[in-house]
Amino acid sequence: MQVSVESTGNLERRVIFNLPAGDIDNQVGSRLREIARTVRIKGFRPGKVPTKVVEQRYGGQVRAEIVDGLLRQGLDQAVRDNALRVAGLPQVSLSDDAGEGELKYVASVELVPDFGELDMAKLEVIRHTAEVADADIERMLENLRQQRATWHKASREAKAGDLVNVEISSTIDGNRMPPEGVEKASTVLGSSALYPEVESAIAGMQPGDEKTIDVTLPADWHVAQFAGKTATSTFKLVDVSEQVVPEVDAAFIRSFGVKSGDVEQFKAEIRSNLERELKGALMNRLRREVGEKLVAAYADVELPPRLVENEARALLATASEDARRRGQQLAAGPEAFQEAARKRVLVALLVGEVARRNELRLEQERLQETMRLIASTYEQPEQVFALYRNDPQLLQGLQNRVMEEQVIDWIAERAQHTETALSFQEALGQ
């Protein structure tokens, strides 16, 4: 096999592979004979399957595996011999101008740009800090109580915080809506789900009461012909329900998996969960902060175009899926994500370059700690560990994430940094 490298741009190389067809045929034949000795095919005795049958069934797969192996071997050799630092996956295609008796493949390879000096001490980074306070634990306890709250019918006038069911009919410019019957709606008074004047009118009403008021519809109302007009609406209060919030007793605590029912143990677990959430939030803030400073410092660096394009398409796919889940359709194309993609690629390449130049290696202790934190959020943590052990792709993703966080920490420690204290709520962006 002959391998040659051509420059097609600052960050692009063309690797050409010339493979003798005869050598490939010999390797394919040898491999098929090995398979024939052990393969089991219905209708034939082991070791007696005709070569033609073996070739028909396995020939294409074997040939593809051998060619792929040769291309990988040739590309690895070309990368070493030419000191190429490859960014992303190469694009390999079969060329149609091969000489007689050979196959010709061409790989388009993009390279990591030359970032020049990487002096992280020149960066100015804000590092946010925060702690979980007792008030945060009490707030979470109250949230958990609200999640387990129930609604009980009440025979009294409606007030803020009540769940009310109402029947509504309106007249706009002489048009009745709905044309027949009534519309039914439910809301918690004070939630602003209905117009403020409507909620104010319902407050103080008793079940069975009716009230008619004028309501000015917003300019962007969903029925364009009535937008901005005044509707005369009649509201009938069907029923009122008041919220009953459970006490933090042993039964309540056990419902969250704390078998002892002890409130202090429950609070300790809440603190542990909040601290884990806080740690992730602070790392996300630091990742964004360091990323923004890296982008600003190396904004003029040329980037591999195909790598940026692939990232833009990946961002588009994610955004499209998010829109689909919300019942919407995204109208934008990959060009709308080019700038975001460029920043992501730039930061990823810089993080990799910092790790390479400073010989940073993944800290196994940090990886295990992250895995333990992830596993602790599940009822059966051992199953999470088994999942990572048995899924190389999933484990690789976690390793990449931990390594990135490790490098981000390394950069922040060496940058000029100031610490800014936040509350727990501020750190989580709430």
Give mean pLDDT, residues 130-150: 95
| Cα–Cα distance for residue pair 180/203, rounded to 1 Å | 26
pLDDT value at residue 46: 78
Question: What residue segments make up the domains of the chain, in order of their start?
Answer: 2-110, 120-137+253-427, 150-244
| Cα–Cα distance for residue pair 11/312, rounded to 1 Å | 19
Output the pTM of the full model: 0.76
pLDDT value at residue 217: 87
pLDDT value at residue 421: 96
Question: For tokens 């008074």, what's the residue?
Answer: 189
Instruction: For residue 178, say if its preceding peptide bond is cis, omega within 30 degrees of 0.
Output: yes
Q: How is residue 306 written in tokens?
A: 């195909």
Sequence-distant (≥ 6) Cβ neighbours of residue 116 within 8 angstroms: none
Of 95, 103, 79, give the one whose Cα is nearest residue 13: 79
pLDDT value at residue 430: 56
- CB count within 10 Å of CB 351 equals 23
Sign for the pseudo-dihedral over CA of 327, 329, 334, 338: negative
DSSP, res 36: H
Task: Please list the residues that pair with 169 across neighbouring strands.
Answer: 234
Q: How is residue 171 written in tokens?
A: 């007249």
Strands 210-216 and 416-421, how do they pair? unpaired
pLDDT value at residue 197: 87
Which comes out higher in pLDDT, residue 427 or 196?
427
Q: In the predicted model, is pLDDT for residue 101 greater than 80?
A: yes
Q: In the predicted model, is pLDDT for residue 40 greater than 90?
A: no
pLDDT (tens digit per residue) in 213-247: 998 888 888 778 888 899 999 999 999 999 999 99
The CATH code of domain 2-110 reads 3.30.70.1050
> Which of 40-54, 81-95, 163-177, 379-393 comes out lowest in average pLDDT?
40-54
Average predicted confidence (pLDDT) for the chain: 91
pLDDT value at residue 149: 92
CATH topology of domain 150-244: Chitinase A; domain 3 (3.10.50)
pLDDT (tens digit per residue) in 365-422: 999 988 888 887 777 888 888 999 899 999 999 999 999 999 999 999 999 989 999 9
The answer to whether residues 360 and 408 touch, using CB atoms and an 8 Å cutoff, is no
pLDDT (tens digit per residue) in 337-360: 999 999 999 999 999 999 999 999
| Cα–Cα distance for residue pair 292/389, rounded to 1 Å | 34
How sure is the predictor about 52, in pLDDT bands with cuts at 50, 70 and 90? confident
The answer to whether residues 274 and 136 touch, using CB atoms and an 8 Å cutoff, is yes
Give mean pLDDT, residues 271-289: 93
The answer to whether residues 318 and 336 touch, using CB atoms and an 8 Å cutoff, is no
Sign for the pseudo-dihedral over CA of 135, 140, 146, 149: negative
| Cα–Cα distance for residue pair 319/391, rounded to 1 Å | 26
| Cα–Cα distance for residue pair 241/155, rounded to 1 Å | 9
Helix (H, G, I), strand (E, B) or coil at 230: strand
Q: How is residue 180 written in tokens?
A: 């027949």
Q: How is residue 225 written in tokens?
A: 């012909």
How sure is the predictor about 81, in pLDDT bands with cuts at 50, 70 and 90? very high
What backbone phi and psi angles, to 5 degrees, belong to 133? -95, 165
Reported CATH class of domain 120-137+253-427: mainly alpha
The answer to whether residues 163 and 209 touch, using CB atoms and an 8 Å cutoff, is no
Give mean pLDDT, residues 62-78: 92
Q: In the predicted model, is pLDDT for residue 127 greater than 90?
A: yes
Give mean pLDDT, residues 134-143: 96
Question: For tokens 């949230």, what's the residue?
Answer: 143
Mark out the alpha helices in 223-262 (DSSP H runs).
250-254
Give mean pLDDT, residues 30-34: 89
Give mean pLDDT, residues 320-347: 92
Of 119, 120, 125, give the one whose Cα is nearest residue 418: 125
How sure is the predictor about 2, in pLDDT bands with cuts at 50, 70 and 90? confident
* Helices 263-297 and 134-147, packing angle to 10 deg: 110
Give mean pLDDT, residues 30-55: 85
- CB count within 10 Å of CB 136 equals 20
- CB count within 10 Å of CB 9 equals 12
| Cα–Cα distance for residue pair 332/310, rounded to 1 Å | 16
What backbone phi and psi angles, to 5 degrees, belong to 92? -110, 135
Sequence-distant (≥ 6) Cβ neighbours of residue 296 within 8 angstroms: none
